[in-house]
Structures are given as structure tokens and as C-alpha cells.
Amino acid sequence: MRPVVSVVIACRNAERTLGVQLAALARQNCPVPWNVVISDNGSTDGTVAVARGFASRLPGLVVVDSSGRLGAGHARNVGCQATEAPLLVFCDADDEAAPGWLAAMVETLRQDQFVAGQFESDKLNRPRVLRSRSLQQSDGLQESSFGPGLPHAGAGNLGVRREVFFRVGGFDPVVGCLEDTDLCWRIQLDGVPLVFSPEAVMQVRLRSSLRTIWAQGCAYGAATALLEHRYPANGVSPLIPWRAITTGQPAVPPASRHPLRRPAAGWGAKLLELIRDQRSFGSLVWTLGWHVGHRRQPPVSAILPTRDRALDTMLFPR
């Protein structure tokens, strides 16, 4: 039976955590036919074996190879091509769907075209890890002090109607770890609002080692710099070919609202201010990594929105 909704999970070396997420999905009650699509992005561990081990508990399970290009955005695009379901829901391999998550996502997608659920972090993280990062999307949509003045959400708890996803070209694999922010803005600039569903709860697993915290901070900083160029402070970039919408709000909130912005000062003063502001050593490591990544100048080719070549083939067959 053709699924009405497909849960797409991008994976790379997720052997340790994937089973927890798939077991949580196997316990979901959904009012419509559904399946899970695992998009393996070049794993070298037992990720694929773990996924296939759930075939009997998750009927219709699909495992596809997306190793042609590294990155979660590309992997999700490939996963979406592997299903004809009219509803697409995304979650991550290292999180855990709460009971009722999928039913809540489907119910909201029956009324709205684009939806984000709630993040919770208490279940899967120790107190020390919780102090390393503040978690957005726990009581509403995420906001940024740059960009087109529109909310956004993480792809670890996101749902969209198929025609909307393919119409805007899917995730842009060039962006990196903020490819979900970029997708949210492009869909809303195309005229489709993003709706928050607090009933769709996803338990999030945060980075716990200093190495992975640093790497994530650097990646977020670099992706932020790219999106700042793509969505400049004076409004929507003329390079973006999607229709802008009027929000009635300032395009960019005051800089003081950005948690990573600091007044102009010498490096020593900036560092001392950053240290005073942090809740833990892990938080300091993440923030310093963000600043290091943010100083990277994105190439001009990355500033222009791109389409995944595989999606182009589907949308514009020759």
C-alpha cells in the first residue's frame, strides 16, 4: 500500500543511536499508512544493518544509498525521491520521537502545508550537556537576527507537503548544517507559512564531547556567514528568485537580540565578555567555535541558492 506519509531519516555512522529512534517510531500510532525511509550518507559502521534489522517492525521500510555527496541536506533529498508519499516528515537518527509524535505531525499537515514540532532535551542529555547549549524550538519557532525576518525550525522535527518541498527545490546541499533554516525561509518566501505544533514532541540528543561541540559550533558559524550573505540585512537578496512576502515586521531585529553578537571591542575584551556570558565550559567551546567558523568567507558560488542535481533531474527531465 502506498504510504500517505514517509518519515525520512538522514544517517551517517549512526549505529549507536539509530536503533533508539527506530524503536520509538515502531511504537507510533498513525491514522494513515506510513513508512520510514533511511538515507545512508556513506556510513562505515553498522548503520545499514541496524536499519534493516527493523524491517519486520517497520513495514515498508526503505533503505537508500545517498553517499554520492556528503551532507544531511543531500541525504534527505535522496530519501524524498525514494518515496511517493504526499506528506514528508523529517527526524534525526540520534533523537527519539515521543509517543504521539507522528500522529500530531500528520494531523497538522492535514490542515497546513508546512509544520514544525517541539524539541525537548531533558530525557537524552545529562545536566552538564544541557548547560552547553540553549535549545530553541521548545516553546515556539526559532528566530534569527539576520535574514528575511521569518521564523525557522530544525529538520529534526519538520514536516512538509511533497509538492511544496519539490517546488522550491528541496534542501540546498551547499548550505551545510543550517540547510533547514534556508529551506524554511525559501518555502515561506514562496508563500507557505510555517506552523508550530507543540503536540509533536521530539526528544533531542545534544553533542556531548568537547570535540563534537567545537565542530558543531564551527559548522554553525560558517553556515551563518553563508546565510547572512544570501539573505542580507537590507532585505531579501535580489539573487534569490523566489517571491518575497510582506511580514509587517522589521526585516532584521536589533543586533542585541543575537546571542552571538558582541559590541565592537578589542579581542581580549571580547573574549572576557564571552567567558562571562557562558553557562558552562562546553558552552564556551561551542561559542568560540561559532566565531571561528563565522570568520570564514563563503565562496560567491555558495551565496547563490542552488538545486540538488538529482532533484533537477526529477523536476526538469530532459
Q: Find, among 158, 145, 178, 168, the residue nearest to 249 by Cα.
A: 145
- The pLDDT value recorded for residue 10 is 98
Characterize 68-99 residue by residue with b for buried, 16 or more Cβ atoms within 10 angstroms of its Cβ, and e for exposed.
Answer: ebebbbbbbbbbbbbbebebbbbbbbbbbbbe
Q: State the residue for C-alpha cell 514536516.
A: 159
- The pLDDT value recorded for residue 288 is 73
Confidence of residue 259 (pLDDT cuts 50, 70, 90): very low
Choice among 79-88, 244-253, 278-287, 307-316 with the minimum mean pLDDT: 244-253
**Per-residue pLDDT for 273 more than 60?**
no
CA 75/CA 269 separation, integer angstroms = 42
CA 171/CA 166 separation, integer angstroms = 9
CA 30/CA 10 separation, integer angstroms = 21
- The pLDDT value recorded for residue 263 is 44
- The pLDDT value recorded for residue 201 is 97
The residue-averaged pLDDT of 286-304 equals 67
Q: What is the tens place of the pLDDT at every residue in 206-235?
A: 765 667 667 766 777 888 888 988 888 645
Distance of CA 33 to the CA centre of its chain: 25
What the block records as the C-alpha cell of 117 is 514540532
Distance of CA 128 to the CA centre of its chain: 24
CATH of domain 1-318: 3.90.550.10
**Per-residue pLDDT for 44 more than 90?**
yes
CB atoms within 10 A of CB 174: 23
**Per-residue pLDDT for 154 more than 70?**
yes
Residues 6+ away with beta carbon under 8 Å from 209:
none
Residue 220's alpha-carbon distances to 113, 164, 223, 292, in angstroms, are: 27, 26, 5, 10
Q: What is the tens place of the pLDDT at every residue in 182-214?
A: 999 999 999 999 999 999 999 999 765 667 667
Q: What is the tens place of the pLDDT at every residue in 50-102?
A: 999 999 999 999 999 999 999 999 999 999 999 999 999 999 999 999 999 99
Residues 6+ away with beta carbon under 8 Å from 46:
15
CA 111/CA 302 separation, integer angstroms = 35
Contact 104, 23 (CB under 8 A): no
- The pLDDT value recorded for residue 237 is 44
Regarding predicted confidence, which is higher, 78 or 237? 78
Q: H/E element holding 9? A: strand 5-11
Instruction: Give me the long-range contacts of 276-283 (CB less than 8 A, separation at least 24).
Output: 279/131, 279/132, 280/128, 280/131, 280/132, 281/210, 282/128, 282/129, 282/131, 282/132, 282/133, 282/210, 282/213, 283/131, 283/132, 283/133
- The pLDDT value recorded for residue 239 is 40
Confidence of residue 270 (pLDDT cuts 50, 70, 90): low
The residue-averaged pLDDT of 291-303 equals 68
Confidence of residue 45 (pLDDT cuts 50, 70, 90): very high
Confidence of residue 135 (pLDDT cuts 50, 70, 90): confident
Number of H helices, E strands in the chain: 12, 8
**Per-residue pLDDT for 241 more than 50?**
no
Choice among 140-154, 240-254, 300-314 with the minimum mean pLDDT: 240-254
Q: Find, among 57, 39, 56, the residue nearest to 48 by Cα.
A: 39
What the block records as the C-alpha cell of 318 is 530532459
CA 197/CA 101 separation, integer angstroms = 10
- The pLDDT value recorded for residue 251 is 33
Residues 6+ away with beta carbon under 8 Å from 138:
118, 119, 120, 121
**Per-residue pLDDT for 315 more than 90?**
no
Q: Is the pTM of this model over 0.75?
A: yes
Torsion angle of alpha carbons 47, 50, 53, 57, nearest 10°? -110
- The pLDDT value recorded for residue 193 is 98
Residue 20's alpha-carbon distances to 26, 128, 195, in angstroms, are: 10, 22, 27
- Mean pLDDT computed over every residue of the chain: 81
Which residue blocks in 84-243 are alpha helix, DSSP H? 101-111, 127-130, 162-167, 179-189, 210-230
